[in-house]
Amino acid sequence: MRRIAQISDLHFGAHEPAVVAHLHAALSAIRPDLIVVSGDLTQRAHRSQFAAAAGFLERLEAEGARLLVVPGNHDVPMHKPLSRLLWPLRRYTRYIARGRSCWYADQEMAVLGLASAHGLTVKDGRLTRIQIRAIADCFAAAPPGAARILVTHHPLVPLPGDEPGEIAPALRGAHRALEAVRAAGVRLVLAGHHHLHSVGIADAGSGAALSIDREILVVQAGTATSWRRRGTPNSFNLIRLDGSTVTIDEWRSTGGPFSCPAPGSSRHGRSADGSAERAGDAPRS
């Protein structure tokens, strides 16, 4: 069995210091096999914010944690047009990306992180043709039995909306990326960006134009430490891979220690025909 903690939208600079401490304590106690950080480590890509985010990650690594990190749109300088155009991820690379790989593989899981934040976009993101080709190339080298997992900051598929319709994916190149995801046998797609926890099976019901195989789970993370919570608690996802079963637990904090109010309530397995079947779903925040 493998355990992945997915934390997202930390937003250092618009963070709750007490919640940061509680997140550190929770991750230290859980000791997952991999911590995935799905973007927006900072609020405005300032040096001080990157330094604070880097310090948090380094404390986790000092305790033996393995990290896989991708940038978000807030990690690109918003109010410096020249830097945004020519060196959009320079500070991210200097403080966060250094020495950290966006690829992890063992016999049970293979995880690829792609940077969907670019200088030519402000809020939305995109995946280039080179990045999309990397999906096929990387997963082709993964162990045959490993669960294949893709991580981006911006979601590849629409989220379920509170009103009729959907929250459209804020990602250019999503159609081509989903074709590559299907062909590569990717089982989980992880993202952040919307500050909403959501777990679902992607199919024609989430928008026919963006439908993918029913065996692929789309897992969104809420904001782990920001006060910009959209009326929901701070949260992170704990994902357990156990053979053909995937369990996603949402750990929440309302200012105090993180806890999981309904452990094991979101479980997904594969049926005899290879498609995903749902054993139960945690309520959407």
The side-by-side arrangement of strands in the sheet containing 2-7 is 67-70, 34-38, 2-7, 234-242, 245-253, 267-270, 276-280
Q: What is the pLDDT confidence band of residue 281, given thresholds at 50, 70 and 90?
A: very low
**H helix runs in 31-80, sequence order:** 47-62
Cβ neighbours around 172 below 10 Å, total: 18
Lowest mean pLDDT among 60-64, 79-83, 252-256: 79-83
Average pLDDT over residues 194-209: 65
Average pLDDT over residues 21-39: 98
Please state the φ and ψ torsions of residue 217, each to the nearest 5 degrees.
-95, 135
Q: What is the pLDDT confidence band of residue 258, given thresholds at 50, 70 and 90?
A: very high
**H helix runs in the chain, sequence order:** 17-30, 47-62, 81-86, 90-92, 129-140, 174-184
Residues in Cβ contact with 4 at an 8 Å cutoff, skipping those fewer than 6 apart: 32, 33, 34, 35, 36, 109, 111, 149, 238, 239, 241
Comparison of pLDDT for 147 and 267, the residue scoring more: 147
Lowest mean pLDDT among 13-27, 58-72, 270-284: 270-284
Look at the pTM and tell me if it is higher than 0.85.
yes
| Residue in this structure with the two tokens 């019901």, named with its chain if needed | 205
Domains along the sequence of the chain with CATH: 2-280 (3.60.21.10)
Give 1-11 pLDDT, tens digit per residue. 999 999 999 99
